[in-house]
Amino acid sequence: MPVRKPRDGTRSRIVLALIVPAIAVAAILAAAGIATGAPARTASAIPSDGVRPPGGQITEIEPPIAPPGGTTGPGGGGATATGGATGTRTGSPTGSPTRTPTATPTGSPTGTSPAAPGVPGAPGGALCASNPSPSGPTTVTVGQAGGKSNVLVDQNGCALYLNIRDTNTTSTCDGTCETSWPPAVGPGQAGSGVNAQNLGTFTRQSGTTQVTYFGHQLYHNIGDTAPGQANGQGVNQIWWLVSQNGQPVQN
């Protein structure tokens, strides 16, 4: 039996029937390749402690890390470190805190030491040695000096001396001697324990007036710089303190 050739229309339908499934299969395979090659993008919610900057990326703010023994202040900014220093903690992108210690100043009381009390008319505090009454009068009183009581002192408590070589009319201490033994300048006034009748004056070669007690010329000593001192006592065995009754105190 002879073979019957298909008509051209029938051939086209057969070819089309074969091509369509092939195209469908190719499309399915292509879709599957695209799905496996491109990563799926999933949305992530913005965390409660983060912000979304421009560009869509999420920046997380790490909570502050409190140091051992310290406390974290509001917002993670302030912290008190141990050891007596106050520090400030600031968060860094890597999460490592940066602490800037601030030393706590240690207060120390400051004050001015009280100065030694000054004495009027006495340069540098040398009250007695400077002869405190250069123009008189000198007040003669009974007081204490050199550890001895009932001896003559002036109004400032400075010791008064006599020279056993002086007389009622002469002085053995003139010129340079007066530098070390300044005369007590007259007139004299009676202080506590002194009778005014026992006071007198002596006119020196320089023309100045000197106080006398029971006729003894009275002197200061340059070595006495403060009341109560008696550094001239017994010098050369001629200079002595004066007792209340006008005698040299030689013991």
Give the pLDDT mean for 157-166.
97
pLDDT one-digit tens code per residue, 113-139: 333 333 333 333 356 865 555 567 899
pLDDT one-digit tens code per residue, 61-92: 455 555 555 444 444 444 444 444 444 444 44
pLDDT one-digit tens code per residue, 7-42: 556 666 766 677 767 777 777 766 665 555 544 444
Residue type, 120: P
Residue 19: the pLDDT is 73
Give the pLDDT mean for 129-157.
85
Residue type, 24: A
CA distances from 49 to 46, 62, 91 (A): 8, 8, 14
pLDDT at 161 over 70: yes
Q: Is the dihedral of CA 152, 153, 159, 163 positive or negative?
A: negative
Q: Pick from 128, 164, 138, 134: which is nearest to 242 by CA?
A: 164
Residue 121: the pLDDT is 35
Residue 7: the pLDDT is 58
Structure tokens at 144: 């204490």
Residue 160: the pLDDT is 97
End-to-end CA gap in the chain: 182
Q: Where are the alpha helices (DSSP H) in 153-235?
A: 177-180
Give the pLDDT mean for 163-191.
94
Number of other CB atoms surrounding residue 5 within 10 Å: 8
Residue type, 81: A
Residue type, 75: G
Domain ranges of the chain: 128-249
Give the pLDDT mean for 191-210.
95
Contact 77, 88 (CB under 8 A): yes
